[in-house]
Chains A and B, each alone.
Chain A
Amino acid sequence: MKMSIREAINQTLHEEMARDDRVVVMGEDVASDQGGVYGITEGLTKKYGVRRVIDTPITESAIVGAAGGAALTGLRPVAELMFVDFLGVCLDQILNQIAKFRYMFGGQARTPVVIRTMIGAGTGTGPQHSQILYPLLAAIPGIKVVTPANAADAKGLLTTAIRDDDPVIFCEHKALYMDECEVPEGEYLIPFGQARTVVAGSDITIVAMSRMVVIAEQAAAQLKEKGISAEVIDLRTLSPLDEGAVLESLAKTGRLVVVDESNPYCSMASEIAGLAVERGFDTLDAPVKRVTAPHTPVPATPCLEIEYVPNAAKVIAAVEETLAY
Chain B
Amino acid sequence: MDISPEKLADAYRLMKTIREFEERMRSEYQQGKLPGFIHIYRNQEAIAVAACLDMTNEDYIASTHRGHGHCIAKGCEIEAMLLELACKEDGLCNGKGGSMHIADMSKGMLGANAIVGGGPPIAAGAALTAKTLGNGAVSMAFIGDGASDQGTVAEALNLAVVLQLPMIFMYENNRYAEFTRNPKPDGRIAERAGAYGMPAEVIDGSDFYAMYDACQRAINRGREGGGPTAIEAVCNRFYGHFEGDPQAYRDQDELKQERADSDPLARFLADERSAALTSEMITAIDGAILAEIDRGFEVALAAADPTPDKLFTNVYIDYAGRLR
Q: Are A56 and B110 in contact (CB under 8 A)?
A: no
A73–B84 alpha-carbon span in the complex (Å): 22
**Residues on the B chain within 8 Å of A108, using CB:** 92-93, 103-106
Interface residue from A96, A141, A191, A243 paired with B115 (Cβ < 8 Å): A96
Whether, in the assembled complex, A125 has its beta carbon less than 8 Å from a beta carbon of chain B, the answer is no
**Residues on the A chain within 8 Å of B318, using CB:** 164-166
User: How would you classify the secondary structure of chain A's contact residues: helix, strand, loop or mixed?
Assistant: mixed
**Residues on the B chain within 8 Å of A107, using CB:** 94, 313-314
Whether, in the assembled complex, B284 has its beta carbon less than 8 Å from a beta carbon of chain A, the answer is no
Give 1 or 0 for each of B121-144: 1 = CB within 8 Å of chain A CB: 111111111101100000100000
Q: How far is the CB of A126 from chain B (nearest CB, A)?
A: 24
**Residues on the A chain within 8 Å of B113, using CB:** 97
Give 1 or 0 for each of A182-217: 1 = CB within 8 Å of chain B CB: 000000000111100000000000000000000000
Size band of the interface chain B makes with A? 35 or more
Using CB atoms, name the residue of chain A closest to B129. Answer: A73
**Residues on the A chain within 8 Å of B96, using CB:** 103-106
Q: Are A65 and B320 in contact (CB under 8 A)?
A: no
Whether, in the assembled complex, A159 has its beta carbon less than 8 Å from a beta carbon of chain B, the answer is no
Q: Are B151 and A166 in contact (CB under 8 A)?
A: no
Scoring A74, A100, A106 by chain B CB atoms within 10 A of each residue's CB, the highest score goes to A106
A68–B132 alpha-carbon span in the complex (Å): 15
Interface residue from B97, B121, B321, B322 paired with A105 (Cβ < 8 Å): B97
Interface residue from B62, B128, B163, B322 paired with A243 (Cβ < 8 Å): B322
Scoring B115, B118, B152, B155 by chain A CB atoms within 10 A of each residue's CB, the highest score goes to B155
Please report which residues of chain B, range 161-179, place their CB below 8 angstroms from some CB of chain A when the two chains form the complex. Answer: 162-163
Whether, in the assembled complex, A8 has its beta carbon less than 8 Å from a beta carbon of chain B, the answer is no
Whether, in the assembled complex, A70 has its beta carbon less than 8 Å from a beta carbon of chain B, the answer is yes
Using CB atoms, name the residue of chain A closest to B117. Answer: A92
Q: Are A59 and B125 in contact (CB under 8 A)?
A: no
A11–B122 alpha-carbon span in the complex (Å): 29
Q: Are B319 and A166 in contact (CB under 8 A)?
A: yes
**Residues on the B chain within 8 Å of A104, using CB:** 93, 96-97, 101, 103, 111
Q: Are B320 and A69 in contact (CB under 8 A)?
A: no
**Residues on the A chain within 8 Å of B127, using CB:** 69
Using CB atoms, name the residue of chain B closest to A191. Answer: B320
**Residues on the A chain within 8 Å of B216, using CB:** none
Q: How far is the CB of B115 from chain A (nearest CB, A)?
A: 5
A67–B115 alpha-carbon span in the complex (Å): 18
Using CB atoms, name the residue of chain A closest to B100. Answer: A104
A65–B113 alpha-carbon span in the complex (Å): 13
Using CB atoms, name the residue of chain A closest to B152. Answer: A61
Interface residue from B62, B105, B133, B313 paired with A109 (Cβ < 8 Å): B105
Please report which residues of chain A, range 18-68, place their CB below 8 angstroms from some CB of chain B when the two chains form the complex. Answer: 24, 26, 51-52, 54, 56-57, 59, 61-68
Q: Are B159 and A57 in contact (CB under 8 A)?
A: yes
Whether, in the assembled complex, B227 has its beta carbon less than 8 Å from a beta carbon of chain A, the answer is no
**Residues on the A chain within 8 Å of B321, using CB:** 193, 239-241, 243
Q: A64-B121, A102-B314, A105-B111 known; A69 and B126 CB under 8 Å?
A: yes
**Residues on the A chain within 8 Å of B125, using CB:** 65-73, 77
**Residues on the A chain within 8 Å of B124, using CB:** 62, 65-66, 69
Q: How far is the CB of B160 from chain A (nearest CB, A)?
A: 9
**Residues on the B chain within 8 Å of A68, using CB:** 121-122, 125
Q: Are A109 and B151 in contact (CB under 8 A)?
A: no
Whether, in the assembled complex, B60 has its beta carbon less than 8 Å from a beta carbon of chain A, the answer is yes
Q: Are A69 and B123 in contact (CB under 8 A)?
A: yes
Whether, in the assembled complex, B91 has its beta carbon less than 8 Å from a beta carbon of chain A, the answer is yes
Closest 5 CB pairs of A and B: A69-B125, A65-B121, A240-B321, A193-B320, A106-B94
Between A and B, 8 residue pairs with Cβ closer than 8 Å are A59-B159, A65-B152, A72-B110, A102-B317, A104-B103, A106-B91, A107-B314, A144-B316
